[in-house]
Copies of this chain bind each other. A is one copy, B any other.
Amino acid sequence: MKARIKVTLKDGVLDPQGKAIANALGGLGFEGIEDVRQGKYIEVELAESDPDKARSQVTKMCEELLANMVIENFSFVLETA
């Protein structure tokens, strides 16, 4: 089973990397860029085949390692192989 995890900064948390991307896009001539936020995308391949167990395992992984819960949110979808 594969988990596709997105980790994003919470609203209100400054995102200098996103701002840098927005500036770079402007410099390349792209117009109408209103905001850019950068996050992380992580794919985890799990041996677990039970969706409920996989879901609780991935939630724990995000809370303990993948996301900094003070400033980041996470969401994920599970996919059967």
Spell out A's residues near B (CB within 8 Å).
Answer: 6-8, 18, 21, 24-25, 28, 30-48, 57, 60-61, 64-66
Contact = CB atoms under 8 A, between A and B. Distances in A.
B45 A35 contact: yes
A18 to B, nearest CB: 8
Q: Quick one: copies of this chain in the complex?
A: 2
A37 B40 CA distance: 11
Of all A-B residue pairs in the complex, the 4 with the closest CB atoms, nearest first, are A32-B47, A35-B45, A41-B41, A39-B41
B25 A47 contact: no
8 contacts: A8-B43, A21-B42, A28-B64, A30-B57, A32-B57, A33-B46, A33-B47, A35-B45
A63 B37 CA distance: 18
Given A21-B66, A25-B61, A65-B25, A38 B33 contact: no
